[in-house]
């Protein structure tokens, strides 16, 4: 697990003033990566690093010879059109670049003049997927979500016997993963209400969100080789916010016996900025199964994973209805939870995924699954928040929502804060449901 070092020092400030206001998601202690270009331009996509309200254009910075020595391989890779190469370099090379960025961006740096010319305001940028995602796997790491959903699909048997032993995961669709700002048509599908004799094809009336975190894989493993729990985090590049949109009326009819398919693969949205594991080092949380639950099998256990395998990341989802947009009202928060409630850690997901020798590759995306916390107001999908559609969510402007309506925008946010550290954040993951036709 990454140790604290001088890049985490809360006393550090940047010559980019907006990084020092105590409210930004992107102080000098964060330094997340994205792929961007100027909005509406035909410029090549390239890697960038967020600092305050600015982006360090890594392609330009490379041209300005800001990086040297150990930091150079990662700096070169970070300037590419996707971050796959950077991800593949591994945690040590990435850490060298982080130290170099931290030095170059801190108050009084000799690189200030050269790097200032490489800044582009985030307000002028558009983003691409940060990596070419080879495979996307979604997990099911919140026992609260699994129990809440299980109650609706199997009232007599909500939590299956394997849940407390197996970090349950399944493969998802990578082609329909989009970057924040994605809008998608309401999907149509085969829908069979319980009281109907035959299914009908119609637009989903139950489009839902799933607030998750996305884990981008760094260095991969060869087919046939497993990744130990001790090594697992060194194979994680970083984390993003992730909305795994779901059609709850398509899902129950299609999902047996092989799992969700068209209920999920019409769109999934990631936030642009990948916060690295090293940036998250101050926000580790202890991890333990309840004492009367089965303890993880040896391949999923390590002292480090128990001591600090968790991550204290606050997460919220907000909804902006067309009426709110029209009234210029603030989006309304519908849930607030924390990643530390997960039943399996990120390291356990990597290790379990490779137990059979399955090969992970740089840029692969692992979803944590819906990160619902223990209480209902921490539930991370409408199917839970509304108790399966029975109790609509009341919004502050008098509207209510059972499921998403056309034109609704959902905004995910995430951040870490604790005394003695500098707050860091993930930016936003935004997506909008369009009418079916």
Query: Which stretch in 45-53, 181-189, 272-280, 305-313 sits in contact with its own copies by CB under 8 A?
Result: 181-189
**Cα(234)–Cα(229) distance, rounded to whole angstroms?**
10
292 binds its own copies (CB under 8 A): no
The strand pairing partners of 412, in sequence order, are 317, 429
187 binds its own copies (CB under 8 A): yes
**Cα(10)–Cα(421) distance, rounded to whole angstroms?**
5
Nearer to its own copies, 42 or 198 (CB): 198
Which of 51, 78, 86, 250 forms a contact with its own copies (CB under 8 A)?
250
| Catalytic residue list contains 145 | yes
Round to the nearest angstrom and report the end-to-end CA distance of the chain.
Answer: 48
Residue bearing tokens 């969510």: 393
Nearer to its own copies, 203 or 389 (CB): 203
Which of 73, 90, 259, 407 forms a contact with its own copies (CB under 8 A)?
259
Which of 32, 47, 189, 214 forms a contact with its own copies (CB under 8 A)?
189
Which of 171, 196, 327, 396 forms a contact with its own copies (CB under 8 A)?
171
415 binds its own copies (CB under 8 A): no
Least distance (Å) from its own copies to the CB of residue 10?
Answer: 40
Which of 42, 258, 398, 419 forms a contact with its own copies (CB under 8 A)?
258
362 binds its own copies (CB under 8 A): no
33 binds its own copies (CB under 8 A): no
Which of 38, 99, 192, 423 forms a contact with its own copies (CB under 8 A)?
192
- Strands in 424-434's sheet, in edge-to-edge order, are 182-185, 424-434, 409-416, 314-320, 332-338
Q: Which residues contact 243 (CB under 8 A, 6 or more apart)?
A: 209, 210, 211, 212, 268, 269, 410, 412, 429, 431
The one catalytic residue in 96, 144, 145, 352 is 145
**Cα(193)–Cα(330) distance, rounded to whole angstroms?**
36
Q: Is-contact 376 385, C-beta < 8 A? A: yes
Nearer to its own copies, 48 or 169 (CB): 169
Least distance (Å) from its own copies to the CB of residue 231?
Answer: 17
Residues that bind its own copies (CB under 8 A): 134-135, 137-138, 140, 150, 153, 160, 162, 165-166, 168-176, 178, 184-185, 187-190, 192, 198-199, 201, 223-224, 226, 247, 250, 253-262, 265-267, 294, 297-299, 352-353, 355-361, 364
Active site residues: 145
């Amino acid at each position: 697990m990454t140790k604290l070092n001088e890049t985490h020092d809360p006393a550090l400030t940047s010559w980019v003033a907006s990084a020092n206001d105590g409210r930004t998601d992107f102080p000098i202690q964060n330094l997340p990566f994205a792929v961007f270009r100027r909005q509406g331009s035909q410029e090549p996509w390239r890697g960038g690093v967020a600092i305050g309200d600015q982006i360090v254009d890594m392609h330009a910075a490379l041209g300005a010879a800001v990086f040297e020595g150990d930091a150079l391989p990662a700096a070169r890779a970070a300037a590419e059109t996707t971050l796959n190469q950077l991800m593949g370099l591994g945690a040590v090379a990435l850490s060298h670049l982080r130290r170099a960025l931290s030095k170059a961006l801190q108050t009084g740096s000799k690189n200030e003049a050269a790097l200032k010319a490489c800044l582009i305001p985030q307000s002028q940028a558009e983003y691409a997927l940060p990596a070419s995602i080879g495979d996307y796997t979604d997990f099911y790491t919140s026992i609260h979500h699994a129990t809440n959903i299980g109650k609706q699909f199997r009232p007599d048997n909500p939590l299956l016997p394997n849940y407390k032993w197996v970090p349950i995961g399944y493969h998802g669709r990578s082609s329909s993963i989009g970057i924040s700002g994605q809008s998608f048509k309401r999907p149509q599908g085969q829908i069979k209400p319980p009281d109907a004799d035959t299914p009908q094809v119609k637009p989903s009336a139950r489009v839902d969100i799933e607030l998750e975190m996305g884990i981008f894989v760094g260095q991969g493993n060869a087919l046939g080789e497993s990744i130990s729990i001790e090594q697992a985090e060194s194979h994680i590049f970083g984390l993003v916010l992730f909305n795994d949109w779901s059609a709850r009326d398509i899902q129950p009819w299609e999902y047996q016996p092989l799992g969700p398919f068209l209920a999920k693969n019409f769109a999934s949205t990631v936030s642009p900025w990948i916060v690295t594991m090293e940036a998250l080092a101050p926000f580790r949380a202890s991890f333990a199964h309840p004492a009367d639950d089965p303890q993880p099998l040896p391949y999923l256990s390590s002292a480090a994973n128990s001591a600090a395998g968790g991550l204290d990341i606050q997460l919220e989802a907000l909804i902006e209805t067309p009426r709110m947009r029209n009234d210029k009202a603030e989006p309304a928060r519908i849930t607030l939870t924390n990643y530390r409630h997960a039943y399996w850690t990120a390291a356990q997901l990597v290790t379990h995924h490779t137990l059979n020798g399955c090969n992970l590759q740089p840029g692969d995306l692992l979803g944590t699954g819906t990160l619902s916390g223990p209480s209902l107001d921490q539930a991370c999908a409408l199917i839970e928040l509304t108790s399966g559609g029975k109790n609509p969510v009341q919004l502050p402007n008098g509207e209510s929502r059972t499921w998403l309506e056309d034109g609704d925008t959902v905004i995910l946010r995430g951040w870490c804060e604790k005394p003695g550290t500098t707050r860091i954040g993930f930016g936003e993951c935004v997506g909008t449901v369009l009418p079916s036709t």
